Structure 1
Amino acid sequence: MFIFDPDYTFEWPVKVHYPAAGGDEIREFTGIFKLPEDELEIYAGRESGTGSIQDIIEAVRDRISTYWIGWSGIQTPDGGELPYSPDFRTRLLKQRPVREAVDRALSEAVLGMREKN
């Protein structure tokens, strides 16, 4: 049976590609996302060729923050689990590899756009 849930949330794998000698080092965690009310919201703030790079990055961070509401599998250097908080989310989104990975995961989940290998 289908039950409409306007506040539907879901988990999705997030693969972060960090630069490393000889290629990327891929680190993975599980993101928890809120499903947008309208899939067109996912396109808001994407690079359009207008505005400064700072404005574009801030718009992408804001858009992602609206839908990225939690995680599991992110560890601290001492081996503990990094608890979710808006502050930690903001700090993570300041790293380009993380921001791009979360944006890619959200697009894959909501729009069915998978990265080609």
Structure 2
Amino acid sequence: MFVFDPDFTFEWPVKVQLPGGEVTEFTGRFRMPEDEKDIFERVTGEDTLSMIDAARARLCKYWIGWSGIQVKDGGELPFSDANRQNLLKQRPIRMAVDHALFEALIGMREKN
């Protein structure tokens, strides 16, 4: 039986391509947008910096956790708003999270 959950969350792989070509992966935990239209929400702003801020804010609404992100000295990076903000400051990570969310929601994966 299908049970509707307006606060549905799910996990999805996030593949980060670092400068130099290295690809690494972690698991992102996401919240389903309330409206399908939110999947295609355009990021707007007066300039590039405000568009980046808007993209980060948009992702913060849906990216609610992770596993598999290690810290340099060992151990796993705990989820917090501050850690999420620090990760989103890195363009490869922000782009990977955005791609993973979109990929999960439209039900399409890239071919290897």
Which residue does 2:23 correspond to in 1?
A: 26
In 2, the alpha carbon distance for the partners of 1:112 and 1:100 equals: 18
Which residue does 1:99 correspond to in 2?
A: 94
TM-score if structure 2 supplies the norm length? 0.92
Identify unmatched segments of 5+ residues in structure 2. none
User: What are the residue-to-residue correspondences of 1:70-85 with 2, within 5 Å?
Assistant: 70-85=65-80
User: What are the residue-to-residue correspondences of 1:14-93 with 2, within 5 Å?
Assistant: 14-20=14-20, 24-46=21-43, 51-93=46-88
Helix, strand or coil: the match of 2:97? helix
The two structures, once aligned, show a CA RMSD in angstroms of 1.5
Sequence identity of aligned pairs in percent?
Answer: 60
TM-score if structure 1 supplies the norm length? 0.89
How far 1:55 moved relative to its partner? 1.2
Matched, 1:5 2:5: yes
In 2, the alpha carbon distance for the partners of 1:75 and 1:19 equals: 18
Helix, strand or coil: the match of 1:19? coil
In 1, the alpha carbon distance for the partners of 2:73 and 2:39 equals: 35
Helix, strand or coil: the match of 2:30? strand
